[in-house]
Amino acid sequence: MDHAMTGAAFLTVVLVLLPLGAIFAYLIYKGAGSINWAFLTQTPKPVGEPGGGMANAIAGSALILGIASVFGVPLGVGAGIYLAEFGRNRFGDVIRFIADVLNGVPSIVVGIVAYSLVVLRQRHFSALAGGVALAIMMVGLFACVHSSFSTFSPILSSYKLAVAIRHYYRPGDVIVVDGQYHQASTLNFYTGYPLRVLHEPSGNLWYGSKFPDAPRVFETPESFAALWNGPTRVFVWTDQESPKELQGLTGFLLARNGGKSIFTNRKP
């Protein structure tokens, strides 16, 4: 039943993507020959005259995006940082509510607001009006995205665990990942130290480990137990509260964050 539903879901995705792919291919087929330097640098010709380009549209889009970024990015990122770091109060609830409302408002409504604030006052359309409308949408988007990344950072990354390891790490120590490498790859990024993997060889690391000069990457349960009981300090990253690989071995919890833990064979 599970395979049948997976196949049905895959089939529906293919049926949806086929028309989009056909349209995209048709556009490329018909339009690829028109892409040239003149198309990018010239303005449109009057109706009926051959040639011309989209320079005004490209420059106008860049101008609107620049204006929107000047107003929207600082406000949106600033609001996101505030929500992530200091937003657990009534003022933070207000900002979060406004950001959620902005994300749910249709773009045409935002356009009407920008029209009322800018166009009616200037009595003509301008790039400033478009920039203001885009900036309003950017504020809500950046605030929610930055706040969400900060909220889910402990789950998505192992930064705080890496900080705990760096505090005790000494040259010659070993860091072992209990699982596949990609599960704890951010640990490698934040510490800059090599990792070993307590998992059966798989993925690109398996191919690389076949080279004669490749460093030691994979640990077996037997080699890990010998390493753990040896003179070397070992740090183990795991997403299990009581990893089976440490059963019967003396271990100490060094840090825990985001559902992941670091154990070591030496008392901190």
Residue 16 token pair: 């949806």
Q: Is residue 163 domain-shared with residue 56, that is, in the same domain?
A: no
Do 127 and 230 fall within a single domain? no
**Do both 176 and 83 map to the same domain?**
no
Per the CB < 8 A criterion, the answer to whether 82 and 95 are in contact is yes
Q: What is the per-residue pLDDT for 18?
A: 93
Q: Is the pTM higher than 0.75?
A: no
The share of the chain scoring above pLDDT 90, in percent, equals 33
The yes-or-no verdict on residue 92 having pLDDT over 70 is yes
Give the residue among 237, 260, 51, 259 at the shortest CA–CA distance from 251.
237
Question: Do 47 and 94 fall into the same domain?
Answer: yes
Domain boundary among 93, 127, 153: 153
Hunting for tokens 């596949």 — which residue is that?
180
Q: Within a 10 A sphere around the Cβ of 144, how many other Cβ atoms?
A: 19
Q: Are residues 124 and 176 in the same domain?
A: no
102 domain-assigned: yes
Residue ending a domain, choose from 99, 124, 153: 153
Domain limits for position 147? 33-153
**Shared domain check, 77 and 96:** yes
For residue 123, what is the DSSP state?
T
pLDDT of residue 48: 78
Q: Which of 80-84, 110-114, 200-204 has the highest mean pLDDT?
A: 110-114
Higher pLDDT, 221 or 146: 221
Residue 16 lies in a domain: no
Q: Is the pLDDT of residue 103 over 80?
A: yes
- pLDDT-based confidence at 2, cuts 50/70/90? low
Counted domains in the chain: 2
Query: Residue range 78-90: average pLDDT?
Result: 83
**Averaged pLDDT, 224-251:** 89
pLDDT, tens only, 121-153: 988 888 999 999 999 999 988 888 877 777 777
pLDDT at 200: 75
- DSSP of 180-228, one letter per residue? -GGGGHHHHHHH---EEE-S-S-HHHHHHTTSTTPPP-B--HHHHHHHH
Q: Is residue 103 within 8 Å of 119, Cβ to Cβ?
A: no
- Average the pLDDT over 97-125 and give the result: 89
Asked if pLDDT for residue 104 goes beyond 90, the answer is no
128/52 same-domain check: yes
| C-alpha to C-alpha distance for 208 and 233, rounded to whole angstroms | 26
Candidates 267, 268, 265; CA nearest to 245 is: 265
CA atoms within 13 A on the CB side of 17: 6
Say if residue 248 is in the same domain as residue 207.
yes
pLDDT at residue 168 greater than cutoff 90: yes
Tabulate helix, strand, coil % of the chain (nearest 5).
65, 10, 25
Confidence of residue 1 (pLDDT cuts 50, 70, 90): low
Of 19-28, 58-67, 147-156, the range with the lowest mean pLDDT is 147-156
Say what the pLDDT of residue 24 is: 92
